[in-house]
Amino acid sequence: MLPQLADAMGIFLMRQSMRTIPKSLLEVAQLDKVGHIKSLSRVVVPLCKPSIFAMCIMFFINSWNEYFWPMLILTRKESYTITLSMQMFLSGEGGSAWGSTMALAALATFVPLVLYLFSQRFIINTYMNSGIKE
């Protein structure tokens, strides 16, 4: 999930989120002789926390659904991801065990679905605020 933070979508969302921070807050931090690191950690990060949280959830779901990259780099079957394990199970059964395959697919979607349901408001607010211009 961490390498995807340098993704163009992540950079765009963080840029748009940081553009909504009023300059007056940063100027007040400068007048109080607060350093750049402290103003970043005490002013900017708390205001961008919903965007950071939403971006982490979206990138987690994207990483959860990866198929080709783990297939290229993983060598041991014990370390396969859920999507690779599902494909191996379906191939091993000859494509005939649809009931157990669908049960496995439902279990695989449970974790991202629960994460999305709990963080839905952050994700929606991030997209709604990304188009605001001042």
Domain residue limits, the chain: 2-129
Q: What is the largest CA-CA distance in the chain?
A: 70
User: How would residue 5 be classed by pLDDT, with cut points 50, 70 and 90?
Assistant: low
Q: Which CATH number fits domain 2-129: 2.30.42.10, 1.10.3720.10, 3.90.230.10, 3.20.20.70?
A: 1.10.3720.10
- CA-to-CA separations, 44 to 4, 113, 114, in angstroms, rounded: 21, 29, 28
Rounded-to-integer distance, Cα 55 and Cα 122, Å: 9
Whether pLDDT at 23 is above 70: yes
Once rounded to an integer, what is the mean pLDDT over residues 5-26? 85
Query: CB under 8 Å to 125, separation ≥6 — which residues?
Result: 50, 54
Digit-coded pLDDT (tens) for 60-116? 878 777 888 888 888 888 888 888 888 888 887 666 777 888 888 888 888 888 888
What pLDDT, on the 0 to 100 scale, is given for residue 124? Answer: 78
